[in-house]
Amino acid sequence: MPITADFHLHSSFSGDSDTPMEEMILRGIELGLTQMCFTEHNDLDYPAGEDGPSDIFELNADAYLYELLKLREKYADRIEILFGVELGLQPHLTRQNAAFVKEHDYDFVIASSHVCHGQDPYYPSFYEGRAQEAAYREYFESILENLRSYSNFDVYGHLDYVVRYGPDRDEGYSYEVYRDIFDKILHRLIDIEKGIELNTAGLAKGLREPNPCIGVLKRYRELGGEIVTIGSDAHRPAQIAYAFDRAAEILKDCGFRYYATFAKRSPSFHKL
Ligand SMILES: [Zn+2]
Ligand SMILES: [Zn+2]
């Protein structure tokens, strides 16, 4: 396995997982991983809905860190465990998110868009009464809005998360259709020296390509981007390191020679 670091993982500290962190770690060891970075959700001001109240994705970072340090030590001779967070951005949360990140010494911060103008595109209501393309466009525009006001993160997570949930999912979807917006997003990320991730959860859900799609990964490289982390976005042990062999092939085909990992917010590069 060329990629031995999974940099997008959840456990029971995330509102949508009930897997004990130790179970995740044991599976990672079994798979031969050398590094696992937990990136528990912190999504402030998440819209209350059928799945729970608006604080469902508010992270108890102290409890999370306590457990992680305990397990880091317990398994120190078998695997390196890193302390990350998946931070849900929304333009009005800039100050709160900045304060949240400063409260602890994270190894790695993923910025993600799970909420677009008050709605999670996970739910069908986001697409009601309009063409899928219009909904996807609104989602990508909202990433640009976030990038105008917030920059304390290391990589932007699953840039085309929305494609997992639209009525026709990745049918008719490509980098080219949204080139104008993607180029603005990618230029901005490169200007502020941030990375992106290759997230394999979409592949596990039956999409043809990872998130973001190959066209976006290729374009990031063409424009000079070099920082790509790999994450399964696993919420259960069975999903850890899903399709990492394919991820390595895709990255090489896109012109990358290295993938990135982070510790104490600093990247290291590893040959693919
Ligand atoms: Zn996410
Ligand atoms: Zn995630």
What is the model's pLDDT at position 1? 65
Q: Return the half-sphere exposure (C-beta side, CA atoms, 13 A cut-off) of residue 44.
A: 15
* Share of residues in the chain with pLDDT > 90 (%): 96
| Length reported for the chain | 272
- Ligand 2 centroid–CA 200 distance in Å is 11
- Ligand 1 centroid–CA 84 distance in Å is 13
What predicted TM-score, i.e. pTM, was given to this entire model? 0.98
* Residue 160 pLDDT greater than 90, yes or no: yes
pLDDT tens for 232-261 read 999 999 999 999 999 999 999 999 999 999
Q: To the nearest whole number, what is the mean pLDDT of the chain?
A: 97
Averaged pLDDT, 103-118? 97
Domains contained in the chain, number: 1
Report the CATH number at residue 67.
Answer: 3.20.20.140
Give the residue from 50, 25, 48, 54 showing the smallest Cα distance to 37.
Answer: 25
Domain carrying residue 127: 5-271
Neighbours of ion ligand 2 (CB under 5 A): 86, 233
- Ligand 2 centroid–CA 157 distance in Å is 8
What sign for the dihedral angle of Cα 120, 183, 175, 256? negative
| Cα separations in angstroms, 247 against 17, 40, 168, 198, 212 | 24, 22, 24, 7, 11
Q: Which ligand is closest to the CA of 88, given by its number?
A: 1
What is the model's pLDDT at position 2? 86
DSSP 3-state of 163:
helix
| Cα separations in angstroms, 250 against 199, 209, 246, 258, 267 | 12, 9, 6, 12, 21
- Ligand 1 centroid–CA 57 distance in Å is 11
